[in-house]
Amino acid sequence: MNRQRGGFFPGLVVALVIILLSATALLAVATIRERNIVKAESLLRSGDYYGAAELLRKAEKFSLRPESRVVKGLAEANLGKEDYETATHYYEKLVKLEPDNVEARYKLGLLYIRAKDYGAAEKEVTALRIIGTESAIQSADALTENLSSGKVKEFFRDLLKKVAPGLPEIPGITQDEPITTDTEETTGETLSEDLPKTEGVYESVPGSGDAVTE
């Protein structure tokens, strides 16, 4: 009996030490992770998308489950890098985490339009209308106009390729312009109002001013 007790208590001490060390390690990792996120958010605001993406990828590795701050940051960073495929991946994850995120759904819709995935873009329009807020309805209306414009532009691009296959790329007509992040406030006008001046430049999210595309 004494032998059993003699083996039990040292084992208990070892287990407690392991638990304490594990907790300390987790706390240290969480602290480093939070610092990386805060620094990445600062880099995003300054326009350093590559630096932000690197820090956020590190934070993502140490996440036990997807976190909105990290996913949103990676979506914006990849959008700024013009890595649209990766940006689409993270915006898709973001709207699953935050179904009522109007800005994320609008940007995701723009990315779908750029990829000519019009069916997916239409689903984002529907989702925005279901959200039903003023900002969501305005974004749905703007996305609908961008969707119509994208289909028209695709038609003319295909036509130009057939009648003039050697035609150089023309930004905004035969070549897509980049989707960019924008921190300035906008007035909420839709694409159709500015189309003659911008040659198809997509408006920012109505009411938020966070994205422009084609």
Residues sharing a CB contact under 8 Å with residue 138, sequence separation 6 or more, in sequence order = 188, 206, 207
- Provide the token pair at 39: 């620094």
C-alpha distances in Å from residue 193, one per residue of 162, 163, 199? 30, 30, 11
pLDDT-based confidence at 161, cuts 50/70/90? low
Is it the case that residue 87 has pLDDT exceeding 70?
yes
22-98, which class in CATH? mainly alpha
Which of 10-24, 71-85, 183-197 is predicted with the least confidence, judged by mean pLDDT?
183-197
Q: How far are the Cα atoms of 45, 101, 131 from residue 181, in angstroms, in the given order? A: 10, 16, 23
Q: What would the DSSP string read from start to end of the chain?
A: -HHHHHHHHHHHHHHHHHHHHHHHHHHHHHHHHHHHHHHHHHHHHHT-HHHHHHHHHHHHHT-SS--HHHHHHHHHHHHHTT-HHHHHHHHHHHHHH-TT-HHHHHHHHHHHHHTT-HHHHHHHHHHHHHH--HHHHHHHHHHHHHHHHHHHHHHHHHHHHHH-TTPPP-BTTTBPPPPEE--S------HHHHHHHHSSPPPPPTTT--EE--
Q: Work out the average pLDDT over 186-211.
A: 39
Secondary structure of 77-121 in the HEC alphabet? HHHHCCCHHHHHHHHHHHHHHCCCCHHHHHHHHHHHHHCCCHHHH
Residue reference for tokens 């694409």 = 191
Task: Give the model's confidence band at 209: pLDDT under 50 very low, under 70 low, under 90 confident, else very high.
Answer: very low
Average pLDDT over residues 195-202: 34
In percent, how much of the chain has pLDDT > 90? 46
pTM score of the predicted model: 0.67
Give dist(CA 4, CA 120) in Å, integer. 65
- Give the whole-angstrom CA distance, residue 31 versus residue 35: 6
pLDDT band at 26 (very low <50, low <70, confident <90, very high): low
Domain boundaries, the chain: 22-98, 123-214
Length of the chain: 214
